[in-house]
Chain A
């Protein structure tokens, strides 16, 4: 068990560019969550997958954001036409459904800076 892995750790991009982040969850976990954490705030829910199905997206996830989990394993989060307000830490977490009481395992996050 290597934990939840996120790549890259840091990304600096110019406004208007597209970026893509990757999350590799714990292999036996069927649920995968994306959160966004801005400076001085707690993480906020963006979207989640159960296996390959994206079951919910929060209102924070604008049309410029898209997430996939094509084979129910790793997931990608893409932001198109980035804006300075997208600068944040993007966190991924995984868990097995039915095990929520035991806590979620988080990755180290991808810190995005839009200049």
Chain B
């Protein structure tokens, strides 16, 4: 069935380190792919998206590329900041009711 698998957290990095959070998915067809971010006590905010194969989504220094051949959408950032500390969710729009299918989330902590 439809699912999203993210790397287990928590991930702890020092400021300015390189970040990769792996995400793979199973879906029928080629749904849009999303990364959402959740700061403590808040709802989900859309971070970036890609709607078709080979598309690269980017925002606030974060990037992810829609890889059809590996069914992946890994999140990367070249230099993380303390303010990037949050939980990151990978999702696809392949739910049967147009709903999003989410991964379990990866908690990122960035230390100064």
A residues apposed to B, CB below 8 Å? 4, 6, 31, 33, 35, 40-45, 48, 55-56, 91, 93, 97, 100-109
Contacts and interface: CB of A to CB of B under 8 A. Distances in A.
Nearest to B98: A100
Contacts of A104: 46, 100
Contact of B93 (A6, A35, A100): A100
Q: Which of B34, B36, B43, B97 has most A Cβ within 10 Å?
A: B43
A71 to B, nearest CB: 21
A105 B100 CA distance: 12
Interface of B: 4, 32, 34, 36, 42-46, 49, 51, 89, 91, 93, 95-105
Contact of A106 (B45, B96, B99, B103): B45
Contacts of A91: 43-44
Contacts of A55: 97
A104 B49 CA distance: 11
A42 B99 contact: no
B78 to A, nearest CB: 23
B42 A56 contact: no
B49 A45 contact: no
Contacts of A107: 43
